[in-house]
Amino acid sequence: MKYLFFWMTVFYSFAVAAQHNEVYVLKYAVLKDPSPVSNWVKDAPDKDSVSISFHFWLIKCPDGKKILVDAGCRMDLPNAVDFGLTDYKRPDSVLLSLGITTEEITDIIVSHPHWDHIDGLPLFPHATVWMQKKDYTHYVTDAWQEGNKPGGIAPRDMEYLLQLNMAGKLKLVEGDNLEIIKGITVYHGSRHTFDSQHVAVQSGNNRVMITGDDVWIYDNLQTMQPPPAFATMDAKGYVRNMQRMKTLASKPDYILPGHDARIFTRFPAVNNRVVRIL
């Protein structure tokens, strides 16, 4: 009888786990050399350095949906070459290391439209793409008008967003604290771009914050300092959003910064490019 009870307990544990969203961080590139923390955190000491990696995120839902937050980039983009990305592996190939094909990706949530976060969208042609309406509208219109600077935006990515919109595959989000998919809520960001957003994922009793670039590295969180002025249109808002993330995440470890390579030492490795959060 005790063996029956044991196996019933094991089965129940697996059944409950299967009902939860799973969250993974996937690395597709790195910067070859450590970067000064002061490049990423306002007023940080110049002597401190940090290893920088380039991520996207995977959410596996119990209903079978496979959702990405952001999509990385392709290496034929001049921005990627100029920025010095190394140890590159195309995002769809990183996913394939988990046995997931491009056709299985149902949705992609765009945190913001910088090239390193959205240039990989065409690799996943079957996905519905979600992004903040104000971010979309600004970067396909006003950002290119005389006197404005679309910094960090690749023209071909805006052309692709227009194609998605015309094909009915772009969902424009308007507002803050909106559950767009069961268990997945988006929040207004810190204006890293015109209207960046970050994503909360509910997994059982746990809540994970996928920050995009609304937290660049762990040092932003630890010091509660924004990035340098060039990286946000609202430094005070950046700090307020980090404060709110600390109240939303079920524990501080579940706030996932956008470019800190240390994340790959803090969670269980699936392979050398992927860690599982929950």
Comparing CA positions, the residue from 84, 73, 80, 82 lying closest to residue 33 is: 84
- In this prediction, residues 84-100 reach a mean pLDDT of 98
Packing angle between helix 133-140 and helix 155-166, nearest 10 degrees? 120
Does the pLDDT at position 10 exceed 80? no
**Average pLDDT in the chain:** 94
State the pTM of this model. Answer: 0.93
Residue 88 structure tokens: 């590159």
Whole-angstrom Cα Rg for the chain: 19
What's the gap between Cα 265 and its chain centre?
18
pLDDT at 12: 41
Rounded-to-integer distance, Cα 240 and Cα 226, Å? 10
Does the pLDDT at position 257 exceed 50? yes
- In this prediction, residues 265-273 reach a mean pLDDT of 98
Angle subtended at Cα 11 by Cα 7 and Cα 14, rounded to the nearest 5 degrees: 140
Query: Which CATH number applies to 21-276?
Result: 3.60.15.10
Scored b (16 or more CB within 10 A) or e, 149-169 reads: ebebbbeebbebbeebeeeee
| Inter-residue contact 110 to 153 (CB < 8 Å) | no
pLDDT at 159: 98
* Residues whose CB is less than 8 angstroms from the CB of residue 145 and which lie 6 or more positions away in sequence, other chains included: none
Rounded-to-integer distance, Cα 54 and Cα 100, Å? 20
pLDDT at 265: 97
| DSSP state letter for 105 | -
Residue 273 structure tokens: 């490019």
pLDDT at 123: 98
Tens digit of each residue's pLDDT (9 = 90 or more) over 95-132: 999 999 999 999 999 999 999 999 999 999 999 999 99
User: Where along the chain do its domains lie?
Assistant: 21-276
Tens digit of each residue's pLDDT (9 = 90 or more) over 183-228: 999 999 889 999 999 999 999 999 999 999 999 999 999 999 999 9
* Residues whose CB is less than 8 angstroms from the CB of residue 210 and which lie 6 or more positions away in sequence, other chains included: 23, 57, 69, 111, 198, 199, 200, 201, 256
